[in-house]
Copies of this chain bind each other. A is one copy, B any other.
Amino acid sequence: MRAKVPVGIEGVDKMLFGGIPKYNQVILAGGPGSGKTLFGFEFIYKGAKLGEPGLFFSLEEQPQMILENVKEAFSEFTDLDKLIEEKKIVIYDTSDIRAYLKNNGEGSMYSFGKLVSDIESVINATKAKRIVIDSLSLIKLLMPDELEYRNVSIDLVSTLRRLDITSLLIVEINTAEKSQIQFQPEFFIYDGIITMYSSGEEGANRALTLEIIKMRGTKHSRTTVPYEITSNGLGVLLLAQRGD
């Protein structure tokens, strides 16, 4: 059996029969407000608690803000600052990505190529085993050309594979409704797809649900399950648990 990296969210690990197969590069896709950043951060946090250094590439927000938001949501993750101090968790600041790119090259292709090689350097420096990139959507937004984005995506995947990384790559989907989700054409190059939904009937509460669409190297549940954002991390409610 392929070695597995536990996500650290109990329900998700059960759905994956233990976790994400090691060295899989996995898309974490969801609509606005579905909690993708929190899921990604919990993956890094739980890895760090197991002693695996983790890197969180923040292209959208400043590290300080992300940390505050995570603490606000996951108030029971009381050892966060300690893990960051011990460099078990590194939040790499590329939040001002346009300035970042400007300092690293001129043509956009060069810059994004530099981003991939920077990711490689930071991984090497931190000995990270898990990384999260939040988000691929921002890279896509800044690239003038769909084809270039696909080339960068392929480079990124093959770089992460070469470095023996297990990753979650966050993608924003521009709808909150499950029924309207369309996968992006380049998704198939990744080893897995997890989707997070925030679906709502007219007049009713939106419900948060997630689903594992694809995961190379392991069986996985094909059920859409509800989850909550609790002070102790994401809580996924499996049917078996309900029946207990």
Chain A interface (Cβ < 8 Å from any Cβ of B)? 1-2, 21, 23, 31-33, 37, 60-62, 65, 68-69, 72-73, 96-98, 135, 137-138, 141-142, 144, 147, 150-151, 154-155, 158, 161, 172, 174-176, 178-180, 182-189, 191, 193, 198-200, 202-208, 211-219, 221-224, 229
| Cross-chain contact A174 with B178 (CB below 8 angstroms) | no
Residues of B within 8 A of A23 (CB): 65
| Cross-chain contact B193 with A174 (CB below 8 angstroms) | no
| Cross-chain contact B186 with A216 (CB below 8 angstroms) | no
**Bound CA–CA A68/B223 (angstroms):** 25
Partner of A32, one of B187, B202, B206, B219: B187
| Cross-chain contact B213 with A219 (CB below 8 angstroms) | no
- 28 A-B pairs (CB sep. < 8 Å): A2-B69, A2-B72, A21-B72, A32-B187, A32-B193, A33-B212, A33-B222, A61-B216, A65-B217, A69-B217, A73-B219, A96-B158, A98-B154, A98-B155, A138-B189, A141-B150, A141-B186, A174-B182, A174-B184, A174-B187, A176-B183, A176-B213, A180-B182, A200-B211, A205-B221, A205-B222, A206-B211, A206-B223
Asked if A178 meets B205 with Cβ closer than 8 Å, knowing A33-B213, A96-B158, A98-B155, the reply is no
Closest B residue by C-beta to A178:
B202
